[in-house]
Amino acid sequence: MVSFEALWEKVLSQAVAQQASDVHIHEGKPVFLRVQGHLQPLCRPVFSGEELWKLLGLLAGAEQSARVRQREAIDFSWQYQKWRFRVNAFRQQQGLAMVLRLIPAEIPSMESLGCPRVLYSFLTASAGLLLVTGRIGSGKSTTMASFLAEIHRQRPVHAITLEDPVEYLYPAGRGIISQRELGTDFQSFPAALRSALREDPDILLVGELRDEETLRAALDASDTGHLVLASLHSRNAAEAVMRMESLVPAGQQEQLREQLSLVLGGIFSQQLLPAKDGGRVCAVEVLLAVPAVRNLIRTGRLQQLPTAMLAGQQQGMQTMEMAVRELLTKGRISREAAAPFLREQAGAAQR
C-alpha cells in the first residue's frame, strides 16, 4: 500500500512537471491540477479526511489548523524544495479542502512577462499610485513582483511589501526590501501602511486594496511622496476606478475621485490567455493619468475612459481589445483565444 507521504510527493512532482498554476485537493475526491487555465484530474491520489487534516497540520502547523477546524479559511505560504506555494485551506460541505498556487522559484523578468513598454517608464518614479488589476489568477502578484525586482536591481531604495501571504522572495539588489505578512508580521493593512510611513520607505507594495481604510491609507501614502504599487480585482481600468469609488460612502466619492486624480500614475489591467506555443500570455490594458484622464476621473465621467485610451495610443495607452489584437497579429495567441474579447468589443460598439 502506498503511504500518505508518497502520495503527497507524487502530487507535488506532477504539479511541478506539468507546470500547473494550482493544485486542488478535496477530501475524498481526486486531486485536480490547473494547467494552462484548465482543470484536469490526476488518476491518483484521493486523500481521506484524516490524511488531509494531517497534511494541513504539516503545512500550516497546529495553530493554523485549529482556525480551520473553527470554520475559518486561512492563507499561508509554504516551501517544497525550491518551489513556493500560496495555500488557502477551507471547510466545505464534503469536508476539508485546499488550493495551492505554485509560485515560480525565480521572479520572471518584465520582458519575459511581456509587460507594456510604458510600464518601464515608471521604474524611476518616486511617488504616485500604480494599480495592477485583473481577475483572480490573472498574474497580478507576478507583475508587481517583477516590477519591484527590476527597481531593486537598478536603484538603492527601501521597499516595504505588505502581503497576504508573502509569495515571491526577492534576490539581493541595490537596496532593501522588507517583506511583511498579514497575521505574522502585521494584523491589518491600514495599520501596517500607517506604520510603514515611519519606516523610511521609498516604495510600498500593497497586496490588495480590499477596503476603505486600506484604500485611503494607500492614497495618503502616494500623496506624501511615496511610490505605492497595489492590486485590485477588476475586469478593466474603468471598473477599477468604480471599484475604488464603491469602497467609500456616496457622500465622499467626489473627494476620493479628486485625490485619486492627483496621485494616480497608471492602471494596468491584465488577462492571461492561452498561448499558441503552450503556456499563457498576458494581455494588458493601459490607462495613464495624463491631464485628460485626470479630468475624467475627477469629474466622474468614467464611461469616457475607454475613449481616452483609444486617443492616447501615442502615449502608450491601449484598451484590452487593442492588446489582444496585437497578440493575435504577432501570432502569440489563436483566433479562438482572442474571439471572446473581440466579440465583447463588437457588442459594445453595437450597443
Q: Do residue 311 and residue 243 come from a single domain?
A: yes
Pairing of strands 227-233, 128-134: parallel
Q: Do residue 152 and residue 221 come from a single domain?
A: yes
Cα 316 from Cα 336, distance rounded (Å): 26
For 139, phi then psi, to 5°, come to: 90, 20
Cα 45 from Cα 17, distance rounded (Å): 16
208 closest CA partner among 160, 162, 257: 162
What angle in degrees, to the nearest 10, is found between the helix axes of 189-196 and 212-223?
20
Q: Which residue has the cell 520607505?
A: 201
Cα 196 from Cα 205, distance rounded (Å): 11
Cα 339 from Cα 309, distance rounded (Å): 21
Residue 126's contacts (CB-CB under 8 Å, 6 or more residues apart) are: 202, 225, 227
For residues 162 and 191, the answer to whether their CB atoms sit within 8 Å is no
Q: Do residue 28 and residue 159 come from a single domain?
A: no
- CATH number of the structural domain spanning residue 228: 3.40.50.300
Q: Which domain holds residue 57?
A: 4-103
Q: How many CA atoms lie within 13 A of 338 on its CB side?
A: 19
User: Which DSSP symbol is given to 168?
Assistant: -
189 closest CA partner among 159, 225, 164: 164
Q: What is residue 346's predicted lDDT score, i.e. its pLDDT? A: 47
Q: Do residue 299 and residue 265 come from a single domain?
A: yes
Q: Do residue 252 and residue 340 come from a single domain?
A: yes
- CATH number of the structural domain spanning residue 98: 3.30.450.90
Q: Do residue 182 and residue 296 come from a single domain?
A: yes
Point out the residues of the chain with pLDDT beneath 70. Answer: 1-2, 343-351
Helix ranges, the chain (H): 4-17, 49-60, 62-69, 110-113, 117-120, 140-154, 189-196, 212-223, 237-246, 253-263, 291-298, 305-311, 320-329, 335-350
Q: What percent of the chain has pLDDT over 90?
A: 85
Q: Do residue 115 and residue 92 come from a single domain?
A: no
User: Which DSSP symbol is given to 108?
Assistant: P
pTM of the entire predicted model: 0.88
How many domains does the structure of the chain reveal? 2
Q: What is residue 351's predicted lDDT score, i.e. its pLDDT? A: 41
Q: Do residue 132 and residue 267 come from a single domain?
A: yes
Cα 233 from Cα 273, distance rounded (Å): 17
**DSSP-derived secondary structure for 237-260:** HHHHHHHHHHTS-GGGHHHHHHHH
Q: How many CB atoms lie within 10 A of CB 129?
A: 27
Q: Do residue 136 and residue 11 come from a single domain?
A: no
For 95, phi then psi, to 5°, come to: 120, -155
Q: What is residue 344's predicted lDDT score, i.e. its pLDDT? A: 52
Q: Do residue 96 and residue 130 come from a single domain?
A: no
Q: Do residue 158 and residue 17 come from a single domain?
A: no
